[in-house]
Amino acid sequence: MLDELRQTCRRLLQDGTVQAVIGYGRPSPEDPVVPVFITKPEDVDQLAWDDQCFANLVKYLLRKEVLSLGKLAVCVKGCDQRALLVLEKESQIDRSQIVVIGLACDGVGKPRLAKCASCDVHTPRQSDFVIGKANTPDAAATVAERYAELDAFLAKPPEERMAYWKKELSRCVKCYACRQVCPMCYCRQCIVDKNRPVSISTSATLKGNFAWHITRAFHLAGRCVGCDECTRACPAGIDLRLLNLSLAKAAEENFDYRSGMDPEKEPIIGAYSQQDHEEFIR
């Protein structure tokens, strides 16, 4: 699979279809896998692929330091690829200008990350190339299975849930790694960087952290594709996945919508329907 990936990228670079390939690689053998930007055909041997390729490389399609390289090819796993679809619908990228190299993936992380258990996109869709074949079949997870982790958490009484978040969010230092790794967070100036008015306190106090994480989670409602990079990037080890699952579950249960899955479906935030239920409204 790795040779097929390297050959594809070598050809793309040689015939000038792209000026740079964003992929996973090891600049030197003993280093961990990191995002690499291959611009010369002979460097494609740096490319690597194994179950330590965590990063969602779609994020780099929004950064000027990478866009300056010219036309780009990006390697994506199934979960990463869903982010491409959302960005396209939110007109942040021009899909025709990007070459998408899908990598068949059997899950990442040793042991496997939580997101991989109910993954049904082992083989990336809407990609220009698909490299390799996924051995694990796509899980036909029901809504209950997909959100089992969240439901287990929601079974706890509200006081216990708030106590959990008070303990977890007290460790947040507001390094904004969760924002910087997220392909959906592309605002030129994030709401926390605005100070006229200061709507979210920039201090890493419990009040500031609750306000920030509520805002971050809700700004991803119906947009987060569940790549879980925010949870992996958090140096304080806060399980942001639970917050993202809450919004994803609400989107699926109420609007039968899973972000980045169906190119025909309208994104739910920004659109509306007269048939939305309102039993909770007096």
Residue 156 is given by DSSP the state S
Q: How far is the CB of 191 from another protein (least distance, A)?
A: 8
Which of 150, 186, 261, 265 touches another protein (CB under 8 A)?
150
Query: Total number of residues binding another protein (CB under 8 A)?
Result: 100
**186 touching another protein, by CB under 8 A:** no
Residue nearer to another protein on the CB measure, 106 or 239: 239
In the region spanning residues 258 to 277, those forming contacts with another protein, defined by CB under 8 A, are: 268-270, 272-274, 276-277
Q: Among residues 12, 44, 58, 233, which is the contact residue for another protein, using CB under 8 A?
A: 233
| 128 near another protein, rule: CB under 8 A | no
Q: How far apart are CA 214 and CA 192, in angstroms?
A: 12
Footprint of another protein on 196-225 (CB under 8 A): 196, 198-208, 210-211, 214-215, 217-218, 221-222
- Please report, as residue ranges, which positions from 14 to 43 form the binding site for another protein (by CB under 8 A): 27, 30-37
Contact with another protein (CB under 8 A) among 46, 67, 89, 112: 112
Figure out which of the listed residues 6, 10, 59, 122 binds another protein, where binding follows CB under 8 A: 59
Using the structure block, give the residue that is written with the tokens 């600049």: 27
Helix axes 206-219, 158-169, angle to 10 degrees: 100
Cα separation, 73 vs 75, whole angstroms: 7
Residue of 64, 86, 59 whose CA lies nearest to 220: 86
Distance CA 76, CA 22 (A): 9
Asked if 193 is part of the footprint of another protein (rule: CB under 8 A), the reply reads: yes
* Strand 34-38 versus strand 98-103 pairing type: unpaired
Omega before residue 29 within 30° of 0, cis:
no
